[in-house]
Amino acid sequence: MPSSISMEEMEAAARAVADVKADLIYMAGETSVASRRSAYLRVKAALDRGRLFSLLYREPPSDVLSLAPTAQNSLIEAVTTSLNALAIFYEIGSRPEYASLARRGYPVTIERLFSWIDCVHPVNSLGQGAHWEISPVGALSLVLLRLGRNRPAELAEYLGQCPHALFLVTDLWLHYPAYMRGADSGQVEVSTTTSLMMSRVLRIMSSDEHQLAVLSVLEQFRGRSSPGRHILKCIGAQTQFLSGVTMTSDWRWAYQAHFPRLAGPVRPCVRQLPPAIWPNGKGLQSFRYGQTWVGALSGAWDGGDDSVVGRRSRSSSCRAFDGNTQHV
């Protein structure tokens, strides 16, 4: 295996974190004080032995696609489990009863975390003929969301200094419908988590010193012939993705909140749109589900780069948007 970690070590690391993940969930849940205390002691012992995040401590493979398909899927499963556990760890670390864990410092450096995010990011597999049995999108979005909530200054500084990391975050949000294609379940949860993650990133990157980095990365996704077209097409794909998902009553707010969350990332693209579509610069909240917005997105959907989302007719796109009230 062309990596600093062998298959046997990878499988052992995955088993170790899977064993402790249940304890992390107990610590994060509304369980009894005694149950949380017992779980805390087991997690602390695993950290002391260096077992809990042992996979993430290691250097990831330089090229995951060079591995055999079975090894690729084993790696994705192991990393996904580890990232989900790390996301829970970030959450519980902010609670007073687990202050001693926070004082120990975070177990995985942000640089190493992003090296693993880069390793298993689906942008590496899409169009390369790889078939990953488990999508890492949910785990990637969740750990980034929790990181942004609990270590906002550190994440903002790192993303501001590392354009590639910010590119990975933005790409994950823009293209998650393509990355989730064929998934059997979890579409609503992944969509909501990814959207919340990007909203959090834009919020912590809102200072003047970080805005240039954000705009520079967004520029990489803007169509060469028509500024902002690719971004608008991706948002159209996100909306149609949500339109095609059956939502329980507990998740209907996800669609309702979809448009307001787009105000930040869409604003750099709106220069190409007629003033009537972007009234007074108030943002998406001012027209939420207006037909002018539907038409603008449908037009963007129809033209430009088709590398990620398929071409749709204007009428079919409008029908998808017009039906959004069924999901709110």
pLDDT attached to residue 30 = 82
Place of tokens 């064929």: 182
Does residue 100 surpass a pLDDT of 80?
Answer: yes
pLDDT attached to residue 261 = 62
| Cβ contact 220:158 at 8 Å | no
In this prediction, residue 163 has a pLDDT band, given cuts at 50, 70 and 90, of very high
| Cβ contact 56:86 at 8 Å | yes
| Cβ contact 90:151 at 8 Å | yes
Place of tokens 């967004």: 218
Q: Which residue has the higher pLDDT, 325 or 99?
A: 99
Phi, psi dihedrals of residue 67, rounded to the nearest 5°: -80, 160
Domain boundaries, the chain: 1-220, 222-328
pLDDT attached to residue 316 = 32
Please state, rounded to an integer, the average pLDDT across all residues of the chain: 73
Say how far apart CA 139 and CA 92 lie, in whole Å: 17
pLDDT attached to residue 162 = 94
How many angstroms separate the first and last alpha carbons of the chain? 48
> For 125-134, what is the mean pLDDT?
60
Q: Which pTM was predicted?
A: 0.77
In this prediction, residue 276 has a pLDDT band, given cuts at 50, 70 and 90, of very low
pLDDT attached to residue 101 = 80
Element (H, E) at 137: helix 137-150
Does residue 299 surpass a pLDDT of 90?
Answer: no
Does residue 322 surpass a pLDDT of 60?
Answer: no
In this prediction, residue 103 has a pLDDT band, given cuts at 50, 70 and 90, of confident
Quick one: tokens of 231?
Answer: 């971004």
- SS3 state of residue 93: coil
Place of tokens 């410092």: 105
Does residue 112 surpass a pLDDT of 90?
Answer: yes
> For 115-125, what is the mean pLDDT?
89
Quick one: tokens of 163?
Answer: 């354009």
Residue type, 46: A
- What distances in angstroms separate CA 181 from CA 109, 232, 238, 273, one per listed residue? 31, 19, 12, 30
Say how far apart CA 151 and CA 87 lie, in whole Å: 12
pLDDT attached to residue 189 = 85
Say how far apart CA 157 and CA 165 lie, in whole Å: 11
